[in-house]
Amino acid sequence: MSRFATSAPRTLGLLLVDGFALLSYAAVVEPFRAANNLAGAELYSWTHVCVGGEAARASNGAAILADAKVGEALDCDLLFVFAGGDPTTFDDPATFAWLRQMAGRGVGLAGVSGGPYLLARAGLLEGRRATIHWEHAAAFREDFPGLALEDGLYVIDGRRMTCAGGTAGLDLAIELIERDQGHALAGRVGEWFIRTESRRAERSQRLSLRDRYGVRHDGTLRALAAMEAAVEDPHSRDELAARAGVSVRQLERLFRTHLKSTVAGIYLRIRLEQASQLLRTTGLSVTDVAIACGFSNGSHFARVFRRAFGHAPGAGRESPRDRSTGSP
């Protein structure tokens, strides 16, 4: 008989909001299935929940049948909230009230991919550390400036957990299995999914600046980091040079050598890429996007954007339904 079989299984709730990414869902639930298989015992059981209807539809069109609906009684230890696309467009008071009710009963809550946005909108991340998929980070900071947002793979802060989604769900699930069942089983689950190296929670979601820009010079990298961290209120060239530890003239020379552009040109590119991402993944107005990316007014932003991308900021904008096929 398995040594794991003596304890009652941990019960999980899986709230699937239409537009959720199938990869994010699978990366979380499959390690728990594997733990049951490898242990030869039912260590975990789960219930699928949807907001309405009988099934939830993933961003790729696949549908998963639900066992329960939001608002119904649900007995679980931990409730995962999966949301993708543009979570800023999800505004269902009944769902938020139900999440608060679950939290009041002592149920742990874990937001995945865009799920942390829903937890924040329900008022359930106040005073907590959190993370979210990097594609949603700018909108999250705009809407919840008082929350401590990190850029790691996942964050566990007491009974609140947040995860960037994608393959990061695998890391979170294995961490939870290790806490519940021990290192040995967690290691076997990792091997089951060809995960030969563990990734720490605080590991960055994105490639390093060094890899993204193909730059090795430390001063240039410090200037680039400062640029990406200050999009709404851009630094002056003097401030960037000070961050890099060089003169303005030297900084310009470094950018021309390593990036084949000027400091202003690279900074504008970073801000426009941020703007394009916000237009693609959020419901923010063009004016709000312009302000969020450091442009003094909408007309100036529109001219610069058109020159860079060949069309007006709102021309290729996706509908809310299209945005439901977004982040993992």
pLDDT score of 323: 47
% of the chain residues with pLDDT over 90: 82
User: What is the rounded average pLDDT of the residues 104-132?
Assistant: 97
Which of these ranges, 3-12, 289-298, 307-316, has the smallest mean pLDDT? 3-12
Measured in whole angstroms, the distance separating CA 259 from the mean position of its chain's CA atoms is: 29
- Give the pLDDT mean for 88-102: 96
Structure tokens at 180: 């519940």
Question: Two tokens at 106?
Answer: 């002592």
Cβ atoms of 27 and 167 closer than 8 Å:
yes
Q: In one letter, which amino acid is 146?
A: G
Numbered ranges of CATH 3.40.50.880 in the chain: 10-192
What proportion of the chain, given as a percentage, has pLDDT over 70? Answer: 94
Q: Give the model's confidence band at 196: pLDDT under 50 very low, under 70 low, under 90 confident, else very high.
A: confident
Is 70 exceeded by the pLDDT of residue 325? no
∠ at Cα 19 (60, 150), nearest 5°?
A: 115
Stated pTM of the model: 0.82
Give the model's confidence band at 134: pLDDT under 50 very low, under 70 low, under 90 confident, else very high. very high
* Mean pLDDT value of segment 244-248: 96
* DSSP result, 269-328: HHHHHHHHHHHHH----HHHHHHHTT-S-HHHHHHHHHHHHSS-TTTTPPPHHHHTT-B-
The residue type found at 250 is Q
228-243 burial by CB neighbour count: b if 16+ within 10 A, else e? eebbeebbebeebbbb
Q: Top-level CATH class of 209-323?
A: mainly alpha
Q: What share of the chain is helix, strand, coil (3-state, %, to 5)?
A: 45, 15, 35
Residue 206 has pLDDT above 90, yes or no: no
Identify the pLDDT of residue 255. 97
> CB–CB of 234/294 below 8 Å?
yes
Alpha-carbon separation of residue 270 from 232, 245, 306 (angstroms) = 11, 21, 15
Residue where the block lists tokens 């009944």: 94
In eight-state DSSP terms, residue 8 is P
Which regions of the chain carry the CATH code 1.10.10.60? 209-323
The average pLDDT across 186-203 equals 94
Query: DSSP readout, 195-214?
Result: --S---TTSBSS--HHHHHT
Residue 7's pLDDT is what?
67
Give the pLDDT confidence score for residue 207 in this predicted structure: 85
Res 318: pLDDT = 55
pLDDT grade for 317, boundaries at 50, 70 and 90: low
- Cβ atoms within 10 Å of 315's Cβ, excluding its own: 11
Confidence of residue 243 (pLDDT cuts 50, 70, 90): very high
What Å distances lie between residue 276 and 49, 196, 224, 228, CA to CA?
Answer: 33, 36, 19, 14
**CA atoms of 152 and 172, how far apart (whole Å):** 11
Class of the 10-192 domain? alpha beta
Residue burial 201-217, b: 16+ Cβ < 10 Å; e: rest: beeebeeebeeeeebeb
